[in-house]
């Protein structure tokens, strides 16, 4: 039997301004209550950008993108990692984060944890302090949070 990749569509959430504002409100409330000092929100390509940039604006802090390989100008750190359906590579600009700066990493979904885990490895290379990985939806049956090696993790919605 072939493997099945479940796609979770957040487009309806993005199309509804009240729902989207409520989502950012919930994320902002969680982050403010959990962490008194954050330097950056780090968003994962590409839906993490949609959540991370308004969240960073609300918090009055900067936003740092982690992108698919070949999309960022200047010097970058790159990591290769395995996906359910092959290999992928992520990059971050080498000077995006200073050693010791505190970051929260955001994306829309945590499935197997490969992308989030790879992004955290990049941030560790830059010696960032990862406060938490934050997603809207977690697919619990895929055990992705186990790949985060005890980095704090928070999801708004969980599905088995």
8 versus 6: the higher-pLDDT residue is 8
100-137 residue pLDDT tens: 999 999 999 999 999 999 999 999 999 999 999 999 99
87 vs 13: CA distance, rounded Å: 29
pLDDT of 40 higher than 50: yes
Q: Is the pLDDT of residue 4 over 60?
A: no
| Nearest Cα residue to 122 out of 85, 154, 97 | 97
- The tokens 């604006």 sit on which residue? 57
Ordered DSSP codes for 30-61: HHHHH-S---EEEEETTHHHHHHHHHHHHHT-
Backbone angles phi, psi at 48, to 5 degrees: -65, -25
Prediction pTM value: 0.94
Distance CA(24)–CA(156), nearest Å, equals 11
Nearest-10 Cα torsion for 23, 25, 31, 33: -130
Any idea which residues carry the catalytic annotation? 47, 84
Percent over 70 (pLDDT), the chain: 96
Residues 6+ apart with CB under 8 A from 137: 8, 10, 108, 109, 110, 155, 156, 157, 158, 159
User: pLDDT at residue 2 above 50?
Assistant: no
Q: Give the model confidence (pLDDT) of 73-109 as tens digits.
A: 999 999 999 887 789 999 999 999 999 999 999 999 9
The number of residues in the chain equals 160
The burial of 117, by beta-carbon neighbours within 10 Å (0-12 exposed, 13-18 middle, 19 or more buried), is given as: buried
> Residue 3's pLDDT band (boundaries 50, 70, 90)?
low
Percentage of residues of the chain with pLDDT beyond 90? 88
Q: In what order do the strands lie in the sheet with 129-139?
A: 76-83, 86-93, 62-68, 40-44, 102-110, 129-139, 153-159
Q: Which domains does the chain have, with CATH numbers?
A: 12-159 (3.40.50.2020)
In terms of Cα–Cα distance, which of 28, 42, 26 is closest to 131? Answer: 42
């Amino acid at each position: 039997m072939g493997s099945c990749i479940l796609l979770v569509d957040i487009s309806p959430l993005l199309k509804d301004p009240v729902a989207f504002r409520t989502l950012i409100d919930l994320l902002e409330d969680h982050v403010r209550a959990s962490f008194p000092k954050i330097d950056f929100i780090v968003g994962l390509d590409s839906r993490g950008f949609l959540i991370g940039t308004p969240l960073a604006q609300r918090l009055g802090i900067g936003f740092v993108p982690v992108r698919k390989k070949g999309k960022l100008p200047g010097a970058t750190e790159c990591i290769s990692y395995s996906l359910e359906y092959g290999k992928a590579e992520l990059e971050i600009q080498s000077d995006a984060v200073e050693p010791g700066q505190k970051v929260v990493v955001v994306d829309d979904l945590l499935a197997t944890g490969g992308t989030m885990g790879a992004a955290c490895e990049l941030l560790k290379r830059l010696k960032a302090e990862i406060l938490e990985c934050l997603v809207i939806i977690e697919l619990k049956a895929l055990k992705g949070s186990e790949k985060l090696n005890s980095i704090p993790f928070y999801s708004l919605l969980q599905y088995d």
